[in-house]
Every structure is written in structure tokens, then in C-alpha cells.
Structure 1
Amino acid sequence: MILLNDIYSAQEKMQGMIHKTPLDYSKTFSSIAKNEIYLKLENLQKTGSFKVRGSFNKMSSLKKEEISKGVIAASAGNHAQGVAFSSHLLNIPCTIVMPKGAPLSKIQATRHYGAEVELYGSVFDEALDYALELKDKTGAAFVHPFDDHLVIAGQGTVGLEILDQLPEVEVVVCPVGGGGLIAGLALAIKEMKPSVKIYGVEALACPSMKQSLHENKVVSINSMPTMADGIAVKKPGELTFQIVQKYVDEIFCVDEMEIARTMLMILERNKLLVEGSGASSLASLLYQKIPIEGKKAVAVISGGNVDVSFISRIIERGMVEAGRFVHFGLSLKDKPGELEKLLGIITLLEANVLNLSLEHMGEKIYPGYAVLQLSLETKNHTHVEHIFKELINKGYEIIQ
């Protein structure tokens, strides 16, 4: 079993090698969540996530004979970059197996650090199985993304930093995938200050740790697609499960809508780009999934590695979910002045036209009419409902 001293030892090894990330108080999020909300910004860590802590601690602890044939790891992205960065610092050759659907930005960043990348399988678990096969064939040392004593101890340094930065902390909320981060963090904090409540958060699409705790054993689940790909692990670790059982108070889940809205809010309010898994902890507080109020609560923002091509979709999805973007069609008389009349109504309703297209021919378009497709920037869901109501009252047929 991992000891508190192991985490302190990991912290000592990392001095000067990684960042002590900021703990940022948010007045806005505190007001929404009805708690004093602090953000532990691991998205500002080297390589863009907490993963470098565990990988560096693991690899710097290996003996020369253990790394004579290099190291190998499996990752959906952030662990890959952590291992690649650490291997570069320590001058150790490494191979990373990533799922074929891994974000291109994470694949490129991993290669940039000098790692050899192999793409295999559609999900992390398939990549992990293949990496273990390669490890047996090549004799390379394996750096597990979460189920390893030294990796967990490295991640636990996040907990030590939180206690140092906010000694009066009452609640810590942490994203959960395989469980390495929450296991190390919970062990560190609970051993130092047992009164602190530790809560985990999973994507509703892949609640493997929550289900495992429910069944009192590690189980593998069928997952659904999620924008929180960093925590979409179908089976948690055996070691992490044991630690979570002992130290974590409860696991909660957030859905895709809550994750998307939170990502957009952090981008707008804090000017921080945060990935879905990183936003899940804050989402649970903003949507009051956790039954607490008036507490000093830290949300661990675990990573910020978002594919550039995905940013626009995040913003659009977040705006749709928040009622700030709507796309619909309506039937319009095909004669001069009708479009100008409609746009005048839209202007009076204080909506901003982002895009429009007019179709004059089609199976469901009657002679003398056209179908107008409109994309509007709106204020909220109430505003959207008001726009639809006013248009219907003026004789327009809404097509969604």
C-alpha cells in the first residue's frame, strides 16, 4: 500500500521539474455553486495536465537495467504527453500506444516530445491491452496510466499542494477515470486532514468507478461516447479502487450538457481552455450534484488539452445547451418584402442573425412559399421560447 511518505518523496523528486499550479478563487462560480469555489489549475501544468506528475515519479524511480529497452505506455492523450515529456527529460526512449480516435493535437504533441506513437484500437482499454502485449515482446518497462504505486504517489502531490495553498479546505472534488489522480490526492489529504470530504466525478457516459463501488469489486462497463475522453475508462484499476474505497466519500456523475456548458463558462469567465474531463469536477458543483453548501471547495481542473478543431464545436454545443444559439426553419411567403419584414421582427426581438439561407424548391415547399433556415444568437432558453411564440403569433410556421 502507498504511504504518505511516498507522496512526499515524489514531491521532492519533482522540485524544479514541474509547476506548482495555481489555486484560483472564483467569485462567479462561488455565487452559482453556493460554495466558496477554488480551481486547482492543472490545465496549466507542464504538458497541459496533471499526468506528468505520476509519469515523472515513476520513470525517475526506475533502475538503469529496467529502462535499458526503453519504456512503453498506453494513453488517450494526457498520460502519453506526460510519459513523452518525462522520457525526454530523463533521456529514455519511449513508445506510446494511443487509440485511433485520440485527438490529433495530443498525438502531435506526444510525437513532438520525441516519443514513437502507435495507434491501435478504438478506445483506451484496447490500446492498453496492445501496449501490454508490446511490453512483453520488447522487454520495455511499462508505465501504467493509473494503476501503479509510483504513478499514484506522483499524482498525490496535487493533494499536498492543495493543503499548502488552502489549509482551511473543506471539500475537494476531482475527476475520475482510472482513478490514479483521486487515489493519490485522497490518500494525501485524508492522511493529513481527515475532516476534508473527497468527492469524485465521472462522465455519466462512463461511470466505471461508481459502478465498481456499487458492486464492491472492480467491474468493466459498456461506455457511451463522451467529450470527457480523458476519464472515459471502462475499467478502473485494482489498486486505485482499493484506495478510493478507503478514502473517497462518494462518486457523482455529470452529463454531456453539463460538461459542455461548464467548458464554455470557464472559457468565457476565466479565459481558460479546459478539456471535458477537466471541467467535470466544476460541473458537478455548478449543477449542484454534490449536496454541500457554504463550504470551501476545491475543484481540480485536471487538464486543458483540447484539439483546436474541436474548440468551435465545444463553443457551439455550449451555446446551444445554454440557449444562446438556435437554428430553425420557417415557412415564408415567396414575394418581395417578406424577408425584410421577418428580419425586422427578429431585430425587435433582440436576436442576432448569424446565418440564413432561403430555399425555394423542395418536397415540402408549397408553390408560392419558401423555407428560410435561420441561425440566431440568443440570450437564453426563455429568450428562444419568446422568439418562437412571437413568430407563431404573427402567423409563421416554425420548422425544427
Structure 2
Amino acid sequence: MKLVLFYHSLLSDWNHGNAHFLRGVVTELKSRGHDVQVYEPKNGWSLSNLIGQYGEQKLEELQQYYPDLETNFYELDSLNLDEVLAGADLVLMHEWNDHELVRRVGEHRTQNNYRLLFHDTHHRAVTERESMAAYDLTHYDGVLAFGEVIKELYLKEGWTQKAWTWHEAADTRVFYPHTKDSFDGDLVWIGNWGDEERTAELHEFLLNPVKELGLKAKVYGVRYPDHAIKSLAEAGIEYGEWLPNYKAPEVFARYKVTVHVPRRPYVEALPGIPTIRPFEAMACGIPLISAPWEDAENLFTPGKDFLVARNGEEMKQHLQTVLTDQRRAMDLMCNGLRVINRRHSCAHRVNELEAICAELGIAPTKISSTSNSPVAYAE
């Protein structure tokens, strides 16, 4: 197949979590022999911030981890859709795109044979409903939603006639257990502060437990306001600023445990959507403890694949258990790794995407491919 993907950025994961999944999916598709062309806006905010703060050498570093990835830059005013979409079989349009681009590609679809899907990987369908409703999906073949609740919302609101649940997953070519020669500390957390969507939760489930237990901990992320950096210091937590996502597996290997603190919209309005961080942590074989979220779609087995802390006191208890009970920590590590390799890798998601392509009527001879996916690390 020839696939054309319009996303915010393939090259930059600075405050742009969707790049994680996108890189894994593109790599997997290419490994199966598909022709994949990614288009991202020239001077997009994520890539501009990355280069402005850390320099273009970070793009060279990315190529060491993803040697087959390349992107195309476009400017909306001069974008020639006839040229860009020539010969396409499937076009994916991510929800973080300009409304005008979404409309124009939809109109182009009416005069062409490719299949066109809208891909939603954010909570804005709930928290910014007016903006999402303004997307013109009239001529789209359907929506890929990263959770069942989002899928049902699109159908209920009449924004689309057809939708599929397409969860994010771990790119197991990059996210896998690394050798642990020694540890730099007890706990690591990788994530952005969250635009005040989880400030109280971060204090309850991360900062306070670390401080009260006297753990050696480090936090990575961007857009931390001054009060957040001060709070980290008061809790005795080192702040590591931005961490390229492809470096996360190496960092996980140097710590004994990590935590997941979901943003409030995912807890209150979007049950069943864990976001990509837990997938990646479990793929790296680090024990995971999560603040409350409802696994409404049975992606995992809470208590077996990871622990759930209902409050800050329970988080302290779970941390103590993982840090002192080696067998319990090993069980969590093995169970989490096993469920990722059995159900939640980017290879699994590409299998699902290929099945959707068949449902949409794309010729089987174009869909069929030979997978060169990495061998699972645990069974």
C-alpha cells in the first residue's frame, strides 16, 4: 500500500506525545514493505521548540534510533494535494491538524479512490468539543479513536458514520528491557507537568510519597512552571528537563520503579484510555505503579501487570513493597512485559490497521505483507 500521513511532527516529541506512537507505526509499516509518506507543517511548534532549545543535532541523534524515518514539510497555502496524494491507497489525518487542511483533503477524497481516516489521540473531543465539532469529516471514511469512549462520542455526535478503536501501543523495536548494571536511584517519572490538569495528583501520588519515604528520584519533562520546579526541589526530586523519548528505555533501566499519574480528563471523562506512557514503561520491564484510572476496556490486569494506588498513602505502601520485595518487583516486570508483547506493540496495531483497510475495501494484494517485527522479549 501507499500511505500518506498528515501529523503534527514525526521528528519532534517535544511536548508532543503522539510522535511516540507515530514513529513506531511508521517503522512497522515500512518493515512490511508499505510505502509511507509523512507530512508535517513547516515550522511546527513542537519541532521549532526542540530546535530552538536543543539544536538540530537532536535530529541527527534521532536518526541513530530511527534510521529509516523521514518526513516531508509543507506549507498549507502551497500544498498541492494532487501531487502529494497521487497513487495513495490510505490517507491518515491526525486531529492536531489545521481545520482547513482537514476540509481540503476531505474534498479531494471525493474525486479520488483512496480511503481517508481521521485519527484522534487526545481528550479534546470531550474538553474542547466545539473545536472538534468544527472539523469537517463529511467525506472521510471513518475515525480511528484511541479509546472506546472517544469512538462512541464521534458516533453519538454524528461527526462520523464509522469509527474504530485504535489504541496507542509501545514501539518494541526501541522500548525493551535494557541491561541493568547499576541504579542511579529508586524512582523515575517521565512526563510533562500537564497544564494544571494533574497538579494535585502529582503532589499526592509522586512528590509527597517520594519526600516522605526519602527516595532518590528524578523527573523528566517540559513546560514545568516555576512553582512546579520549586515543589520538586522541596520534595528532594532532581529535575532533568526534556528527555528525548527514544532515550526513555535507557533511563528506565537505571531506576527501580516508575509511576503513572494520568491527567484528570482521562480519569473523569475518558475511562479505558491509559495514554502511551504505561505501555512504554511496561515494555521496558520496569515495575509500574499507577494513580487511579479505570481500565474499562480490559487492556491489562491491574494488580498483576501493574499496581494501582487509590490514594497517596497506598502509593507509599506500594513503593515500599516494590523497592523491598524483589520477587514482587520481578513478577510485575515480567507480567507487564508479557502483556505488551502479546497484545500491545505497534506491530499489533498495524495488524489492526491492515484489517481495517480490508474492511474499507483496499485490495488484499496491497495489504498483504511480510512482517519483520522484533521477537517478543517475554512469553
**Higher Cα radius of gyration:** 1
TM-score (norm 1): 0.25
Structure (1/2) with the larger strand percentage: 1
